[in-house]
Amino acid sequence: MQHFLTMSDLRNDEILELLEEADAFSKGAQWKTPEPVFAVNLFYEPSTRTKCSFEVAERRLGLELLPFEVGASSVLKGETLYDTVKTLQSIGVRVVVIRHQEDEYYKKLAGNVELSIVNAGDGSGQHPSQCLLDLLTIQQEFGTFRGLNVCIIGDLVHSRVARSNACALQKLGATVKCSGPVEWYDPTMNIDYISVDQGVREADVVMLLRIQHERHKETAHLSKEEYHHEYGLTVERERMMKPNSIIMHPAPVNRDVEIASCLVECGRSRIFKQMENGVFVRMAILKAILQKEKVVC
């Protein structure tokens, strides 16, 4: 593939192939690009996990990374994303990993550039590498997606993770239901909504979403304590979960809001496992790009 932009672009067999490759990396498989390839991580929004994780993946594959801080670049002089990407292409960059605040920013780029674009999050759109790492974590746990009950709880409307995950999990045979404050229901998702208590009781996977304080124009009507009580994974709710069911969260966690702080590293939690897997799925994505297109310069 030339670009990696959305989960909806991928067929089931392509998803499963990426997961297989990622799982192999998680078990110690090695692969290096045979010739030097320059890559840039172009993050217009703050990130720790995704950016560092791509960085580790890129280094493990032997890519050469150019540092790029948007706040010290010509973006300050008004340069557009298109012109920045074309510039990077001109100086020899072959892979650009982009996080940008604009939904579907990649539509202006994809047909007009020769380098490869990896979407690391577009506005309130998708976050497909996060989706893949969530899928890998679930697959490692249960071996399959078919018949699993997944409950996604929280800030659905602002979440790139919810949309990508719900779509992919359904395609792969899981039953996905959502929960959380009614005003955060996402009218674009074709999904059943249930109460948090019911979701927590039924689910094999309880997937919590971060409240994206930075994307809310108005403060929510609930205090943090009230949110935690009404929609969070409290210590009491965790006790209602099925045996062998797991807790996921894309992080960063708002402790004692979406989830009780003491549950972040509890036995059911796969939150730090998800981060580990992030490196492996990103290695798989980049390998697929480097192998199937002649991006090696």
When asked if residue 219 is in the footprint of a copy of itself (CB under 8 A), the reply is no
When asked if residue 64 is in the footprint of a copy of itself (CB under 8 A), the reply is yes
Encoding tokens for residue 221? 């009507």
Encoding tokens for residue 82? 């298109």
Of the candidate residues 87, 195, 223, 291, the single one contacting a copy of itself (CB under 8 A): 87
Give min distance, CB of 61 to a copy of itself, in A: 12
Contact between residue 164 and residue 126 where contact means Cβ atoms under 8 Å apart: yes
When asked if residue 88 is in the footprint of a copy of itself (CB under 8 A), the reply is yes
How many residues make contact with a copy of itself (CB under 8 A)? 53
Give min distance, CB of 20 to a copy of itself, in A: 21
Give min distance, CB of 282 to a copy of itself, in A: 10
Nearer CB in complex with a copy of itself: 251/289: 251
When asked if residue 184 is in the footprint of a copy of itself (CB under 8 A), the reply is no
The percent helix, strand, coil of the chain (3-state, each to 5) is 45, 15, 40
Query: Of 150, 133, 166, 140, which Cα lies nearest the Cα of 49?
Result: 133
Of the candidate residues 77, 221, 239, 294, the single one contacting a copy of itself (CB under 8 A): 77
Query: Of 90, 99, 97, 34, which Cα lies nearest the Cα of 65?
Result: 97
Can you tell me the distance from the alpha carbon of 243 to that of 246, in angstroms, rounded to the nearest whole number? 9
Of the candidate residues 8, 92, 114, 195, the single one contacting a copy of itself (CB under 8 A): 92
| Residues in 232-291 at the binding interface with a copy of itself, rule: CB under 8 A | 251-255, 272-273, 275-276, 278-279
Contact between residue 133 and residue 277 where contact means Cβ atoms under 8 Å apart: yes
Q: Is 251 annotated as a binding residue?
A: yes
Q: What are φ and ψ of residue 203, in 5° steps?
A: -80, 145
When asked if residue 34 is in the footprint of a copy of itself (CB under 8 A), the reply is no
Encoding tokens for residue 235? 């210590």
Element (H, E) at 15: helix 12-26
Taking the CA atoms of residue 181, residue 186, residue 187 and residue 192 in that order, the dihedral angle to the nearest 10 degrees is -70
Of the candidate residues 79, 103, 230, 236, the single one contacting a copy of itself (CB under 8 A): 79
Nearer CB in complex with a copy of itself: 13/214: 214
Q: Is 210 annotated as a binding residue?
A: yes
Burial of 128 (0-12, 13-18, 19+ CB in 10 A): buried
Taking the CA atoms of residue 100, residue 104, residue 105 and residue 106 in that order, the dihedral angle to the nearest 10 degrees is 110
Contact set with a copy of itself (CB under 8 A): 38, 40, 43, 46-49, 51-53, 55-56, 59, 64, 66-80, 83-84, 86-93, 210, 213-214, 251-255, 272-273, 275-276, 278-279
Annotated binding site for carbamoyl phosphate: 49-50, 99, 127, 130, 251-252
Annotated binding site: 49-50, 77, 99, 127, 130, 160, 210, 251-252
